[in-house]
Amino acid sequence: MATQPLTHEPVPPRAYAVLASSTFAFTICFAIWMMFAVLGIPIKQQLGLSETQFGLLAATPVLSGALVRLPLGIWTDRYGGRIVFFALMLVTVIPIWMISHATTLPQLLILGLFVGLAGGSFSVGTPYVARWFPRSRQGLAMGIFGAGNSGSALTKFVAPALIVAAGGSWTVVPRVYAIAMLVTAVLFWVCSSSDPAHRATSSASLRAQLAMLRDPRVWRYSQYYSVVFGGYVGLSLWMTKYYIGEYGFDIKIAALLAACFSLPGGVLRAIGGWISDRYGAHRTTWWVMWVCWVAFFLLSYPQTDFIIHTARGPQAFHIGLSALPFTALLFIVGVAMAVGKASVFKFIANDFGHNLGAVSGVVGLAGGLGGFILPVLFGLLADLTGVRSSCFMLLYGTVCVSLVWMHYSQRAKGAGAGQRVLAAQPA
């Protein structure tokens, strides 16, 4: 497949300020959205939670953040990204602060649903940023904005440090995060801009905006995104605890190693946008899925000891990944998912440019639901089987589904193009 030529179309002068302020705001929102990845560990010990309950606690904010993405995307199309983004951040400040006063699992789950609204900021910022840039640069712009996923790594550095500084008390984290969200909202409003022309689709009815749900491409892109984004969120929430249970690290070392996955999985999304602009969304996503397929196969193998009875007597063997190769493979998965998150949204920008908010909301909803369901399933599988690497076995299966779907959809697309060429030829 030939590379796609990059043209140099003019960029509005306010576009870069919008991009910078939106990316910073999304980074803080994502850090807060993912805070139970670290915060949930001392809470689990304090409340005596099971693996499944821990997964539910960690994933609850992801659920509300996923469910709100579709309406937020539609409201962004109608009213503009600046006001929706600003209001969304303000709404979450009080619930974040109230987490420090919660003492039971039901209280934490209810507050987590409100805090999770911060995760919906992706479906606001993506169309808001994209409309400031020409089509040839939208992949890169959305990739830079999506690099705010690195907030997942940020919370793995900040939250453990705050807990240690507070003498082991986890309640300091939501208080600091509430203040950070309020300050971020003010800075975003001051530094961002609005363009009434970007709300040109506001006259479209809700039914017209939702009509794209009948398009099979939307469901296909949703499945891809549930793997690259849902898998990223699920692993970001799970890996700190995985390192503690599998390798016996303390919370600071475990969070640091987990950040080796979260950080490239967020920061390198901008590079994924550039690659998608240059080589095309399909080719990029195809290779992303193959890299994940190989890595998840290797990560799936549990720590195993076995004995072979030979002519010279029994021989004992051990198969399993130590912390170093495990982290290296996880880093590779993080890079691949960063590129894949950008390439999926390049599909959307190419195919649904006039309904970007609503479609990105649907696809973001699918990815967010994946991020909610996966940690719960990780915990359930760990409780049922006792095998920690079962989480990677599950992800391996989801990648297989994506590869099969991509193969047959591309073959059908090629067959359809061939039939159109034949039909256009004179008899």
With helix as H, strand as E and coil as C, how does 337-351 read?
HHHHHHHHHHHHHHH
pLDDT tens digits for 21-30? Answer: 999 999 999 8
pLDDT of residue 422: 40
Assigned domain for 5 exists: no
CA distance 87 to 117: 11
Assigned domain for 1 exists: no
pLDDT tens digits for 374-407? Answer: 988 998 998 899 889 999 999 999 999 989 988 8
pLDDT value at 350 more than 90: no
Q: Tokens representing 119?
A: 């995760």
Which strand (E) or helix (H) includes residue 108? helix 105-115
Which strand (E) or helix (H) includes residue 215? none
Assigned domain for 311 exists: no
Assigned domain for 203 exists: no
Assigned domain for 134 exists: yes
Q: What is the CA radius of gyration of the chain?
A: 22
The span from the first CA to the last CA of the chain, in angstroms, equals 30
Q: How many domains in the chain?
A: 1
pLDDT tens digits for 34-93? Answer: 889 888 889 988 999 888 888 899 888 988 888 888 788 778 878 888 899 999 999 999
pLDDT value at 160 more than 50: yes
Assigned domain for 380 exists: yes
pLDDT of residue 209: 56
**pLDDT tier at 423 (50, 70, 90 boundaries)?**
very low
The residues, ordered by sequence, that sit 6+ positions from 283 with a Cβ below 8 Å of its Cβ are: 1
CA distance 215 to 219: 7
Q: pTM of this prediction?
A: 0.74
Which residue range is the domain that position 333 belongs to?
16-197+212-305+318-420
Q: What is the CATH number of the domain that holds 41?
A: 1.20.1250.20
Share of the chain above pLDDT 90, in %: 29
Which of 3-7, 186-190, 284-288 shows the lowest per-residue confidence on average (mean pLDDT)? 3-7
User: What does the angle CA 188 – CA 228 – CA 391 come to, to the nearest 5 degrees?
Assistant: 120
pLDDT of residue 391: 92
Which strand (E) or helix (H) includes residue 54? helix 51-67
367 vs 187, more confident: 187
Assigned domain for 98 exists: yes
pLDDT of residue 412: 59
Helical segments of 147-268, H only? 151-165, 172-191, 206-210, 216-228, 230-247, 251-267
Assigned domain for 143 exists: yes
DSSP 365-376: HHHHHHHHHHHH
pLDDT of residue 177: 95
pLDDT tens digits for 207-254? Answer: 665 666 677 788 888 889 889 988 988 898 889 889 998 898 988 899
Q: How many residues does the chain have?
A: 427
pLDDT value at 173 more than 50: yes
CA distance 396 to 351: 28
Q: Is 84 helix (H, G, I), strand (E, B) or coil?
A: helix
